[in-house]
Amino acid sequence: MTADLLFYIFSTFTLACALAMVVHRNAVNAALCFLLALVGVAGLFVLLEAYLLAVLLIFVYAGAVVALFLFIVMLLDVKGGRRSNFTKSTLVAGTGAAALLAVGLLSLHTHGRITATLPAGPGVGASLKGYAYQLFTTYLLPVQIVGFMLLIAMLGVIVLSKRHAGMEDVK
Amino acid sequence: MSPLPFDPLLLAIAAPLAVALAIALGLPKRFSVKLAYVGFALPALLALHCWYYFPADAADGYAFVTQYGTGLSALGISLKLGLNGIALPLFVMAGIVGLAAGLYAIQSGAERLKLYLMLLLIMQGGLMGVFASIDVFFFYFFHELALIPTFIMVGIWGGRDRNYAAMKLTIYLTLGAMLSLAGLIAIYVQSGANSFDLIELRRALGEAPLALSLQKYLFGLLLFGFGILVSLWPFHTWAPLGYGAAPSSVAMMHAGVLKKFGLYGFIQIALPLLPQGAPSWTPLLAWLALGNIVIIGLVTIAQRDLKQMVGYASVMHVGYGLLGVACLSVLGAGGVVLFMVAHGLTVALLFMLTTSIYHRTGTFDMQEMGGLAQKAPVLAAFFLTAMLASIGLPGPGLLNFWGELAIFMAVYAHAGWMVVPAVLGVVISAIYGLRAVGSVFYGQPTENFLAHQQKHPVTDLRWNERIPALILLVTLIALGIWPRSISDPINATLSAFYPAIEAVATRITP
Amino acid sequence: MTPVQNALALLFLPLATALVTALFFRRQPAVGRALSLVAAAGIVLLGGRLIFFTENFTIAAEWLSLGPLTIKLGILVDDLTKLMLFVVAFIGFLIHVFSIGYMKGEAHAARFFGCLSLFMFSMIGLTLADDLIMLFIFWELVGLSSFLLINFYYDRPAAVLASKKAFIVNRIGDFGFLLGIILAYWAFDTITLVDIAARLDTSPDLVATSIALLIFCGAVGKSGQFPLHVWLPDAMEGPTPVSALIHAATMVAAGIFLLCRVGVIMTGDALTVILWTGVVTALFAGVTAFGQRDIKRILAYSTISQLGFMVAAYALGSLVALRNGADQALAGVTAGAAAAMFHLTTHAFFKALLFLGAGSVIHASHHEQDIYRLGGLWKKMPITFATFTLGTLALAGAPFFSGFFSKDAILLLAWQYQPVVFGLLLFGALLTAFYMTRLWSAAFLGAPRSDGAEHAHESPASMTVPLVLLSIGAVLAGYGWFYPSALAVVPTAALALLQGEGHTLVAVAGSAAFVFGAGLGLLFYRPGATGDFLQQRLPALYHVMAERFYIDALYDWYVAKVQQRFAMLLNFLEQILLAGLIVRGFAGLVGLLGLGARALHTGSLNAYVYWFLLGLVILWAGVAGVFNLQ
Amino acid sequence: MTFAVMNPELLRAAAASNHWAAIFPEMALGILALLLLVLELALPKKHHGLIPAVAIFGQIGLLAWLWFNFNSIVIGQETFNGLLHHSLDGQFMRAFFLVSSIFVCLLGTIALAKQKMPRIEFFHIVLVVTAALMLLAQSNHFLLLFVALETVTIGFYILISYFRSNPLSLEAGLKYLIMGGLSSALLLFGIVLLYGVAGNPALPSSSANAMNFDELRAFLAANPGNFLAQIGIIFVLAGVAFKIGAFPFQIWVPDVYQGAPTPVTAFLAVASKAAGFAVLLVLVLRAFAPYAALTVPVLSVLAATTLIFGNLAALTQHNVKRLIGLSGVSHAGFLLLGVVAAVINPAALGAVYFYLAAYLLASFAVFGVMTHLAGENDADQELDHYVGLGRENPFLALVLAIGLGSLAGIPPLAGFMGKLLVFISAFQAQLYPLLALAIIGVVISIYYYFGWIRIVFFETWRAPLLAGETDNRPARTPVAWPAGLALGLLAFTTVLLGFYQGGFGEWLLNR
Amino acid sequence: MNIGLNDYLFLSALLFALGFFGVLLRKNTLVIYMCLELMLVATTLALVAFSRYNGTMDGNVFVFFILTVAAAEVAVGLAIIVALFRRRLTVQVDELNALRN
């Protein structure tokens, strides 16, 4: 029951934060909301016994990604209030889209119920060892690929951001 | 059978293409022109050779059959060449018209002559291939091969409105070609023969014909596909415009030979493979063909532009071919083949001479000419002869007459009263034909023309223009005098596989 | 030389000279003339050999075979052929000779003679044809030669128009002819004349009548029958020898020859139509002749009128035979055919003579053709005058001249058939005498009324000798003994008719018509009158006649106002509606769709995300089974 | 079961199945990519020009290796614990990506020469992306598929924004970033759903290794009509549809194609699209095969709308990069037609591959010419710039005409054979309405392809320049011999494959 | 009622939809990008839930990869956004529409 209660708390918190992020005018605030939402999700991860992932989520997402976002938002100093009011057409389209998404969710919820599920036993995600074994045996290849991916991402960021000698650079 | 140590058909197709390739690879202009002579003459000579050696006993089959794999054997596609009695006359005609068009092109001194000759040679290769292919796929393939240079040449060397004309031509013909292709593929798929080989298809569909409703759909598809390609009314508007704009050699080869693809497709492929599908469409086809003959005939009368007029005339005459096809009989189809040969030679001649006239008058507007016969009597004689041939006057147009006569005979036998408007076309064509001859060559020159003559003295037809004209004219008249030289193979071939069609054919009119 | 070789040599000799002239001697009138004359002489020789030393024969070879259609072309030489050949060869030769003088100094004479040879080829082919198709082929070829010769002066707009008119009007007739051939083939399964006769009874009556009338259409066009006669007077724009040979003696008579050839397929209904066509033509042309002032035009209308007589004669003879219980199979030379061919022959002589005489006059008076601007020529051109007078008498049907006998045979048939027809034809004969007297009196008598006529002098021998020779024929061709035995079958049959019932009455009536007509002519058209009697007294009537009863105007109106406008309308629909509105409109519509599709790329990311949403909706719809059509 | 993965035996087996030799080409590409970076550091600056040559010749060498080891022993096997499935199709796609990569590198040398840009990173990223593409085409497991796909996508983010001094390039990068991110999310959500459903032990044939395609297939076959699985499938399809540019996931195509550097546009248009199709084929033919009742109608609708929309939108386009992008959309429609046909009739696979090959040849011919004609501003390539090319540079004009003709499907060029084969397959699969649309599409496409050719060859009137006005068209770049050779080879092969498919055709159609 | 897989799944879908909605609605590129990240997180939640309830490890491992990929993506994406901002001085998507039509 505690778990259920925690679920409700976390999920409500997460949803509220996510909603705030989506609708908040100010980008900085949105990023902060995102951060909080991530904390909520991490909590849910904990409920699902994926402790490592919860920690990772906080580290990687909240710690690195959102920080980066915040950093950039502040660097660019974008005035959040500059966003114009919703025009009528966007309002209509937005409402329509929201309705569509709601219909989708509803149908997913009604038609997509998974009736037979195992009672929650000990979670497989709890063990750190499991990750290690999997990553270094079965999923060794993806790990290697991800390594290359990070390499090119790094190179890419350098190419896109670094001032190169002899290059005309605007401002 | 041919005593030559090589395959004459393949060579006839490959020679122009090889010359085109050589030119494309950067042969100097001098050699290009010399080689172009070879490229144009060889197919004609080989075609004549095949004609001479065409065995009389190749009645139901093909002569000079050879087969080359191209890598699509899994689909039953291979380059299978051969001639039967229907293909032979058209093959010969393609060679002759190609030669004339080539000679005319060489003397034309067109800008970027090398490119011009190269494209024309590609076209020639395609034309020879269309009629030499037994494989239905290659039949279509060669048609397209010849069609592409047409578009380009109309666009580059065309006359008035060439941009629009080239575009319209391209789109229309692509549509027609795509529909035909769809029909051909459908036949291939449905036949279960797993082969594009016409002989195989014929055998397979002879043993197990397609369902009636399917045949109807497929024939309809081919009807509109081929119909657009041969400028069936009301899908013809590309033709006069395109021919009006096309450079003469292209108009000669397209209107003369390439356009016959559709009619040939009907006779050689659509009718034999879909005999039961045809009768439900033939009334429509016949009515539309009458539209070609009567409506376009009258529209032709209203033309002022000489080249457009010739274009319209060729559209009109195609109506005879379509009407003959609609008869679904040996007589009708045979008449159409004869007519195609005649029409090809005639229309090529007319387009050629039209351009020669233009070079002397500086305009295509018939009301701005006049009296040209005084300065250019030989041109006048040629043009008059060509025009009379095109209106089917026995004499110069004896072959046209034989074709039309056979078609009329068939139309009366299968469509009764429809023969009346069809024959009326003969009168209509006489009206516009003579009007054209009269206003271009007879009477007195207009003031504008006189002014033009001051600047550009008019000369008579030069020899390098006369020779291609003579090639066409002599062939036409010779074939007209002795039509059996081509009608016997036609008759033999058609008699072999048309009884099945005639057996299910119904009258077009009640 | 076998008969076949003989016939082929006869046929191809003129073609060969025409070709040689066209290819090599276009600029050498002398060579062209010589070649043509040699050909004409050759034709006389070869034709003579065929006529006099050869039995009748027929030969054919298969020319085209497609499915059920088998066309055999060949040569048929019978009595009809021989008579026609005789007319063509003999008169043709004389006209060649005449042309030498007439065309002297003409720069393009080589072309003229080349075309004349081409005509001879075509006409001989027509004569020798054994079947409808070959007949049709040469039928068209004579039309072509006629076209080429009418617009010999192709820089004259009138000549060009006339040639075009001739060709197109003939094509209208041939339209029927060709239909007739097609029907005939499917009715009889052959187009060979001899075989048609053998298979006759198989055809049902309506079809037979249609066939007969359709083939008659060809004759209506070529032989200038009402209402397709309009081209013939205009055809006088050609050089006069051409008018004499083609548009008087031979080609226009080909229609009659055709009728006689296909006599076997005629039915009573068809013949009645033919008869009345002939009668109407005869009278109509006779009346119209009064409104003409051009000497050649008057002769042209007279030709039309006489052709009407021949057509009527043909129909009458067959109708009479039918009524007399003859079998429908009228094979051989029937009475009608005999009468028509007989008149054709005599007419060929005197009309060629008249035309050549007119040519001589025109040549001498520096191309003056208006009869009221001539006059006084009897003194200046005695030979021409004499021969022309003989020709006039023959045409007018003066007793004991050739025309009298041939016309008598027709009148007698008419008398036997129906008094009304007889009366009308008799009136036609009277008209003939009447207008010929008008012509003769105005052109030759009195005083010269123009410079041309003033300075006229007799033509050279090359022109007068043919006149004299033809005048002999014009006078004597009515007598049976004039014809050698090889040619005598038709004249004999025709003359035999003259022994028929009522012959005295008819002969008297015929003579009276001549006397009365000539008398009226002399009465109303006094020699030396400067103007036309009718024009002065009844200008309105004269105007109508001069305007040829507005039939030509009607045709012109039709061509300019109906046909041309209809063509323009269709062209408008084609260019504006079909090529413009529909095709371009469709292309424009597709283009608009394209612009619309392009405009959807707004560049806004948010909008693009909506597309993804749309994509999800589409895919989700797939899950919901929207696309499962079955 | 839960701790099965912990079993040392199984782990050892799993480690043993990491058969690195089977992915030699991918590894070699990765090493080559690293080598380029090393060379950049090691070589003096003046010799840096050699590095692209190393990349190109290295890949050519690799291609030769692939040629000789085409029928490798691992064909038909699964390696890396079922992450990879090696097949002849995969070998074909490997060669395909390698060839594209070679041409992209070649075009890159030309395009980069016009910009002041770091070079080596470009080639490095291209090589890594190529390796990832190869793995993508052979993947047999959603995890590998996702990782490889993301590697490709991230590589493309960078490549598209590579001309960073040009805001349009960056804008294109941003658009690709957002749309790509979105599609990745959709794909991922689909994968998750499938994983979750197929891994549900309560359902028949459920699998502990649910992301493996074979296992998934077995599960799907045992559970027809599972709603969540269907939703999962369509989300996966949505992600793939983004890659191939199928309607309505094509909307980013023109913008991104226009902004991206031309060689990258080519890479996107050819390799990325082909990878999408390779994945799609693997998915619908293997993993989702039991759900053909869902995939066939859905893909048919996508094919139909893609065909029509791509052609219509291209009709009035005058920027050649957008034009080629939109035409590429219509090609995706044709290929989708082939894919649908292949679901119904697996023999159609050869047609799709032939089409892809022809598309590669023709596209690179066109992009090669475009690269030569591009000016300083790579995004600004208007049709007007092609006026008079036929006279000024007949070689480029000819190559362009052949390329465009082949794209338009004009005989006797390879593109026509591709279309023909697809049409035949579609006929055999009885997809008649789609065929009708395809025919309409071909006819419409003729208009803009031919319009382009027309501008190149036909003389058209141009307004004379006013005094002081300069021609805004970029100057023509001379064709260096390697590029000339490559373009000539492309054109020649395009023509040759149109006439004579030979062993290639036999191989493709008789596999 | 016990909280089970369905609830996690629904929550995940809700978060996913919310993220999607944000991408649809927002004009600030950075916020849009955050919404994308939210969608990724939403999927990880579902993944972890499935992994937990299905008793297989792969889902959890997958999350590992997703996080890595997301990080790399964010790095590159933000680099692009920053570079673009330096040229255009805006991050609003309605002003970043130079490429259109």
C-alpha D306/C-alpha C342 separation (Å) is 84
Q: Is C97 helix (H, G, I), strand (E, B) or coil?
A: helix
What is the reported pLDDT for C227? 86
Nearest chain C residue to A103 by CA distance is: C617
* C92-149 pLDDT, tens digit each: 898 888 888 888 888 888 888 989 899 999 999 999 998 889 999 999 999 999 999 8
Q: Is the pLDDT of residue A170 over 60?
A: no
Contact assessment for residue D208 and residue D199, using Cβ atoms and an 8 Å cutoff: yes
Buried b (16+ CB within 10 A) or exposed e, D419-437: bbbbbbbbbbbebeebbeb
Q: Is the pLDDT of residue D268 over 60?
A: yes
Task: Select the residue of D30, D164, D228 nearest A112 (Cβ to Cβ).
Answer: D228
Q: ∠D125-D129-D134 over CA atoms, to 5°?
A: 150
Q: ∠C2-C4-C6 over CA atoms, to 5°?
A: 70
Q: Which pLDDT band, with edges at 50, 70 and 90, does A123 fall under? A: low
Query: Exposed (0-12), middle (13-18) or buried (19+): which is B84, by Cβ within 10 Å?
Result: buried
Find all residues with CB under 8 Å of A131, minimum gap 6, and list them.
A52, E57, E60, E61, E64
Map tokens 């030069």 to a residue: B462
Tell me the mean pLDDT in the region B299-307: 89
What is the reported pLDDT for C490? 83
What is the reported pLDDT for C329? 42
Tell me the mean pLDDT in the region C461-473: 88
Query: Exposed (0-12), middle (13-18) or buried (19+): which is C189, by Cβ within 10 Å?
Result: middle
Quote the minimal CA–CA distance from A48 to chain E in Å.
6
Chain centre to alpha carbon of residue D71 = 23
Q: The tokens of C120 are what? A: 């001879």
Q: Which pLDDT band, with edges at 50, 70 and 90, does B499 fall under? A: confident
* C415-430 pLDDT, tens digit each: 888 888 889 999 999 9
Q: Is the pLDDT of residue D467 over 70?
A: no
Q: Is the pLDDT of residue B448 over 70?
A: yes
Q: Find residues 37-96 of chain D whose CB sits inside 8 Å of chain C.
A: none
* C63-87 pLDDT, tens digit each: 988 888 888 899 988 888 888 899 8
- Main-chain phi, psi angles of D288, to 5 degrees: -95, 10
Q: The tokens of C574 are what? A: 């084609």
* D94-116 pLDDT, tens digit each: 999 999 999 999 999 988 888 87
Find all residues with CB under 8 Å of B13, minimum gap 6, and list them.
B43, B81, B125, B128, B129, B132, B142
* D340-368 pLDDT, tens digit each: 999 998 888 999 999 999 999 999 999 99
Q: Are the beta carbons of C579 and B434 separated by less than 8 Å?
A: no
Nearest chain E residue to A14 by CA distance is: E15
Backbone angle region of D420, left / alpha / beta, with phi > 0 → left and psi within -120 to 50 → alpha: alpha
Q: For chain C, give me the number of helices (H) and strands (E)?
A: 28, 2
Quote the minimal CA–CA distance from C613 to chain D in Å.
9
C-alpha A118/C-alpha D6 separation (Å) is 21
Rounded to 10 deg, the angle between the C109-128 and C254-261 helix axes is: 10
Task: Give the number of beta-carbon pairs within 8 Å between D and E.
Answer: 138
Residues of chain C in contact with residue D247, where contact means CB-CB under 8 angstroms, are: 615
Q: The tokens of B253 are what? A: 């080869």
Question: Which residue in B15, B193, B49, B228 sits closest to B121, CA to CA?
Answer: B15
| Average pLDDT in chain D | 88
What's at D215, amino acid-wise? E
Q: Are the beta carbons of D181 and E36 separated by less than 8 Å?
A: yes
| Total-model pTM | 0.90
Quote the minimal CA–CA distance from B161 to chain C in Å.
14
Q: The tokens of B185 are what? A: 């593929």
What is the reported pLDDT for D258? 92
Question: Which residue in B218, B212, B205, B220 sits closest to B283, CA to CA?
Answer: B220
* C269-299 pLDDT, tens digit each: 888 899 999 999 999 998 888 888 888 888 8
Q: Which pLDDT band, with edges at 50, 70 and 90, does B32 fall under? A: confident
Q: Is D83 helix (H, G, I), strand (E, B) or coil?
A: coil
Map tokens 């996107």 to a residue: D268
Tell me the mean pLDDT in the region B306-322: 91
- Cis status of the peptide bond prior to C539, with omega within 30 of 0: no
Residues of chain D in contact with residue E63, where contact means CB-CB under 8 angstroms, are: none
Query: Exposed (0-12), middle (13-18) or buried (19+): which is C146, by Cβ within 10 Å?
Result: buried
Q: The tokens of B131 are what? A: 């009629």
Q: DSSP state, D386?
A: G
Give the H or E element holding residue E96. Answer: none
Q: Which pLDDT band, with edges at 50, 70 and 90, does D4 fall under? A: very low
Quote the minimal CA–CA distance from E74 to chain D in Å.
10
Q: Which pLDDT band, with edges at 50, 70 and 90, does D82 fall under? A: confident
| Highest mean predicted confidence (pLDDT) among B316-325, B437-446, E55-64, E88-97 | B316-325
Tell me the mean pLDDT in the region A140-157: 92
Map tokens 């208006």 to a residue: C370
Task: Name chain E's partners: 3 or more CB pairs within 8 A.
Answer: A, C, D
Q: Is the pLDDT of residue C321 over 80?
A: no
Quote the minimal CA–CA distance from E2 to chain C in Å.
30
What is the reported pLDDT for D92? 92
Tell me the mean pLDDT in the region D450-466: 75
Q: Is the pLDDT of residue B103 over 70?
A: yes
Residues of chain A in contact with residue D151, where contact means CB-CB under 8 angstroms, are: 145-146, 148-149, 152
Q: What is the DSSP string of D185-209?
A: HHHHHHHHHHHHHHT-TTSTT--TT
CA dihedral D408, D413, D419, D425 (to 10 degrees): 180
Q: Which pLDDT band, with edges at 50, 70 and 90, does A169 fall under? A: very low
What is the reported pLDDT for D404? 93
C-alpha C513/C-alpha C392 separation (Å) is 14
Largest Cα–Cα distance in chain D?
Answer: 83
Q: Which residues share a beta bridge with C370?
A: C294
D175 touching C (Cβ < 8 Å): yes
What is the reported pLDDT for C458? 85
Contact assessment for residue B134 and residue B65, using Cβ atoms and an 8 Å cutoff: yes
- Main-chain phi, psi angles of B66, to 5 degrees: -140, 160
What is the reported pLDDT for E54? 83
Tell me the mean pLDDT in the region C231-258: 86
Lowest-pLDDT range, A166-170, C367-371, D371-375, D489-493?
Answer: A166-170
Q: Are the beta carbons of E6 and A114 separated by less than 8 Å?
A: yes
Residues of chain D in contact with residue E80, where contact means CB-CB under 8 angstroms, are: 157, 161, 170, 173-174, 177
Q: Is C58 helix (H, G, I), strand (E, B) or coil?
A: strand
* B336-374 pLDDT, tens digit each: 999 999 999 999 999 999 988 888 888 888 888 888 888
C-alpha B382/C-alpha B357 separation (Å) is 11
Question: Which residue in C478, C177, C465 sits closest to C347, CA to CA?
Answer: C478
Rounded to 10 deg, the angle between the B398-415 and B306-326 helix axes is: 40
| Average pLDDT in chain B | 88
B431 touching C (Cβ < 8 Å): yes
* D149-208 pLDDT, tens digit each: 999 999 999 999 998 888 899 999 999 999 999 999 999 999 999 998 888 888 888 888
Q: Is E97 helix (H, G, I), strand (E, B) or coil?
A: coil
What's at B199, amino acid-wise? I
Q: Which pLDDT band, with edges at 50, 70 and 90, does D2 fall under? A: very low
Task: Select the residue of A7, A75, A157 nearest E3 (Cβ to Cβ).
Answer: A7
Contact assessment for residue C622 and residue D301, using Cβ atoms and an 8 Å cutoff: yes
Q: How far is CA B230 from CA B176, B314, B317, B424, D15, in A?
A: 9, 10, 10, 21, 68
E15 touching D (Cβ < 8 Å): no
Q: Is C57 helix (H, G, I), strand (E, B) or coil?
A: strand
pLDDT exceeding 90 applies to what percent of chain B?
39
* C482-534 pLDDT, tens digit each: 888 888 888 888 888 888 778 888 888 888 999 989 888 888 887 777 777 77
What is the reported pLDDT for B348? 92
Q: Which residues share a beta bridge with C74?
A: C60
Q: DSSP state, B63?
A: E
CA dihedral B246, B247, B248, B250 (to 10 degrees): -70
C-alpha C401/C-alpha C395 separation (Å) is 8
Residues of chain A in contact with residue E79, where contact means CB-CB under 8 angstroms, are: 156-157, 160-161
C-alpha D174/C-alpha E81 separation (Å) is 7
